[in-house]
Amino acid sequence: MRDENFPEGSLPDAGGGRNRTGWIAAWLLLAVIVMAALAIGKYEITLAQAFHVMGAKLTGASSGLPPTVETVVWNVRLPRVLCGLAVGAALAVSGAVYQGLFRNPLVSPDILGVSAGASLGAICGIFFSLPVLAIQGLSFVGGLAAVAVVYALGSLARERDPVLLLVLAGIAMGALLGACISLLKVLADPYNQLPAITFWLLGSLASTTRGDLLSILPAIILGLVPMILLRWRMNVMTLDDEEARALGVETARTRLALIAAATLMTSAAVSVSGIIGWIGLLVPHVARALVGPDFSRLLPAAFLLGGGYLVAMDTLARSAAAIEIPLGILTAAVGAPFFLWLLVSTRRGWA
């Protein structure tokens, strides 16, 4: 499927042996990133020790290593790495879907206010000193509720461009929720609550556990399933609505299903990691440049690249300085220059 918004002439060939080689390289690179993340940290562990611990845990054998090494690899770093894979993959895939639906390369998963809604929910939990589980639950519900309101507002005016209305409603909702967030920051206790709110807004995987991973995996899988099933319709949705309907796609229902799936994944990711920007904006561009605009290839490519990128950034965040760098700062510092280079080096855009 060719579309002026996804020019295939400027993209590398993704077929044949080159495609298989690329996928093998992507999986190998992801494995290297994961093993490096398990070994790198304040407590020094070699790659060989990390391999031994993982092999021993998976086979039930004894690793012969000190218990401290096993605890650090299996109980501390592995849950954090797996959460990083899940969160990064969810944000990248959601970004790819949103960019296709809105036919805009500058769209990210928070275009409809999901990040602002999730932030407000989490900040309300922090403001009222609720348990961590309640804070994550409020964040998840807040993200879904914000997008539900935006979609309801966007569907009121049926005679206008639905995509434009959704974007405008999302911008307005984001501004309104941002004002509420600022008010709560002003009212919060400056010694206890305000630092916690600021840290959450900057994004981090420092406190993630296996429980966090298990809590978000069902939502991520549930959101990924309709994306896979509707991948060919997603290709058609990159056309104008009239053209898509002429090709037999019910644009309203398909858009609703894909927005719901992407929002579910984004809300689940943000609920455990806080706000981590640039992944949903940058990674889909890289994936599209590598495998092309076909969503049957774009989605798995974004999934792999997003997970690997966030794990790499998280490893850098906890090892590059004496204190841990918030992920939101690091992803912006690395992502923005790379994104600018990507824009300059691309011969043809989404014109």
pLDDT for residue 79 is more than 50? yes
Please tell me the least confidently modeled range out of 22-26, 97-101, 122-126, 256-260. Answer: 22-26
Cα gap 200→323, rounded to integer Å: 16
The reported pLDDT for the residue numbered 150 is: 92
Query: What does the buried/exposed string (b/e) look like for 59-79 if buried means 16 or more CB atoms within 10 Å of the residue's CB?
Result: eeeebebeeebbebbbeebbb
Phi, psi of 309 (to 5 degrees): -65, -45
Tens of pLDDT, residue by residue over 219-228, are 999 999 999 9
The reported pLDDT for the residue numbered 135 is: 94
One-letter amino acid at 62 equals S
From the list 127, 128, 122, the residue with the least C-alpha distance to 143 is 122
pLDDT for residue 329 is more than 70? yes
The reported pLDDT for the residue numbered 339 is: 81
pLDDT for residue 11 is more than 50? no
Cα gap 259→43, rounded to integer Å: 42
Cα gap 27→77, rounded to integer Å: 20
CA distances from 344 to 220, 267, 338, 341 (A): 33, 32, 10, 5
CA 84, 85, 91 angle in degrees (round to 5)?
Answer: 85
- Alpha-carbon torsion angle 62, 67, 73, 78, nearest 10: 80
pLDDT for residue 261 is more than 60? yes
CA distances from 105 to 54, 109, 129, 311 (A): 40, 12, 39, 24
- CB atoms under 10 Å from CB of 250, counted, come to 12
**More confident call, 199 vs 64:** 199
Distance linking the first and last C-alpha atoms of the chain:
17
What's the predicted TM-score (pTM) here? 0.89
Cα gap 293→284, rounded to integer Å: 10
Phi, psi of 6 (to 5 degrees): -125, 70
% of the chain with per-residue pLDDT over 90: 55
pLDDT for residue 248 is more than 70? yes
The reported pLDDT for the residue numbered 121 is: 95
pLDDT for residue 15 is more than 60? no
The reported pLDDT for the residue numbered 348 is: 52
Mean pLDDT of the chain: 87
Tens of pLDDT, residue by residue over 271-321, are 999 999 899 999 998 898 888 889 999 999 999 999 999 999 999 999 988
CA distances from 226 to 5, 222, 255, 262 (A): 23, 8, 11, 10
Are the C-beta atoms of residues 283 and 304 closer than 8 Å to each other? no
Contacts (Cβ under 8 Å, ≥6 apart) of 90: 216, 220, 223, 265, 266, 268, 269, 306
Q: How confident is the model at residue 76 (pLDDT cuts 50, 70, 90)?
A: very high
Instruction: Using DSSP, state whether 204 is helix, strand or coil.
Output: coil
DSSP secondary structure code for residue 71 in this structure: I
Q: Which long-range contacts (CB under 8 A, 24 or more apart) does 70-78 make?
A: 72/41, 72/43, 72/45, 73/38, 73/45, 73/49, 77/37, 77/38, 77/41, 78/38, 78/54
**More confident call, 294 vs 21:** 294
DSSP secondary structure code for residue 326 in this structure: P
The reported pLDDT for the residue numbered 12 is: 41
The reported pLDDT for the residue numbered 1 is: 41
The reported pLDDT for the residue numbered 18 is: 57
- CB atoms under 10 Å from CB of 260, counted, come to 17
Q: At what angle do helices 47-59 and 16-39 cross, to 10 degrees?
A: 100
The reported pLDDT for the residue numbered 280 is: 92
**More confident call, 113 vs 22:** 113
pLDDT for residue 5 is more than 60? no
Tens of pLDDT, residue by residue over 159-209, are 667 788 888 899 999 999 999 999 999 999 999 899 999 999 999 998 889
Cα gap 153→156, rounded to integer Å: 6
Tens of pLDDT, residue by residue over 122-145, are 999 999 999 999 999 999 999 999
The reported pLDDT for the residue numbered 60 is: 82
pLDDT for residue 57 is more than 80? yes
- Which residue, chain included where needed, has tokens 């494995």? 31
% of the chain with per-residue pLDDT over 70: 92
Q: What is the mean pLDDT of residues 221-243?
A: 89
The reported pLDDT for the residue numbered 202 is: 92
Q: What is the mean pLDDT of residues 5-28?
A: 60
Cα gap 259→263, rounded to integer Å: 6
